[in-house]
Structure 1
Amino acid sequence: MLDHTDLKIIQELTHNSRMTMKELGDKVHLTGQAAATRVAKLEEQGVVEGYTVKVNKKKIGYAVHAFITVMTQSTSHHPYLNFVETQTKHVENHYKISGEGCYMLECRFVSHEQLDQFLVDLNRHANYKLSIVINHQSK
């Protein structure tokens, strides 16, 4: 069971996973060594699964941000799933959902032409509903 300090550690690491253990300890009122021990325990328990870098996709040329609700055309989803596996360049997140569709894709594209080609290829395996992100408000 996680206590208040563990939850605070998770919160701080979520905001900045590059901080030193001393900095983390100062924020959660522990020594650096005690913070490191807590983080190691959270990693061993599988609570902290890894660390990542958040990249601003727009700044590296991926200006078109789209959410695509996917409705498969048959009960066999394998052709669609195989297609998605080949699209790691564009697909940021892939969710199995309930509601209007079967899956939700969060994708990035360099251009609308690239998006159009992706949709043509996707339509060979499934129907879709497209939503384009107009503006993103960060927390």
Structure 2
Amino acid sequence: MLDHTDMGILRELSKNSRITMKELGEKVHLTGQAAAARVAKLEDNGIIERYTIEVDQPQLGCLIHAWINIYTKITHHQPYLSFIETQENYVLNNYKISGDSCYLLECRFPSNEVLDQFLTDLNKHVNYKLSIVINKL
């Protein structure tokens, strides 16, 4: 079970995973050495799985942020999944979900033309419903 300090460590690492252990310790009222030991324990217990970065997609030229609900045509989903694996330049996340659709794709595209081609190719495997993000609040 995680205590208040562990939750604080996770919150701070989620904001900045490059923070020094000394800075982390100061934020959660521990020494740097104690903070490092807590982080190591969280890693060993599988609570912290990996460290990553958040990329500013518009800075990379991917201005179109799309969410796509996927409706499969058949019960065999492998053709769709294989297609998605080839689209790593555009697909940020592919979630298997419950509800009306089978999957939910989070994607980024540099232009409407690229999005249109992606949807044309996607439609060979599944039906879809597209939503475009207007603004992140």
Please state how far the C-alpha of 1:50 moved relative to its aligned partner.
Answer: 1.1
Letter in 1 for 2:18: R
**1:71-117 C-alpha deviation (Å, 9 max, x unpaired):** 01001111111111111110001100111210000000000000000
CA distance in 2, matches of 1:66, 1:117: 14
Structure 1 stretches lacking a partner, 5+ long:
none
Trace 1:2-13 onto structure 2 (pairs within 5 A). 2-13=2-13
TM-score (normalizing by structure 2): 0.98
**1:49 equivalent in structure 2:** 49
CA distance in 1, matches of 2:72, 2:49: 31
**2:17 equivalent in structure 1:** 17
Percentage of pairs with the same residue: 64
Please state how far the C-alpha of 1:26 moved relative to its aligned partner.
Answer: 0.5
Structure 2 stretches lacking a partner, 5+ long:
none
SS of residue in 2 equivalent to 1:49 = coil
CA distance in 2, matches of 1:98, 1:47: 25
**Moved beyond 4 Å, runs of 4+:** none
Q: Give the root-mean-square deviation of aligned CA atoms.
A: 0.6
Q: How many residues align?
A: 137
TM-score (normalizing by structure 1): 0.97
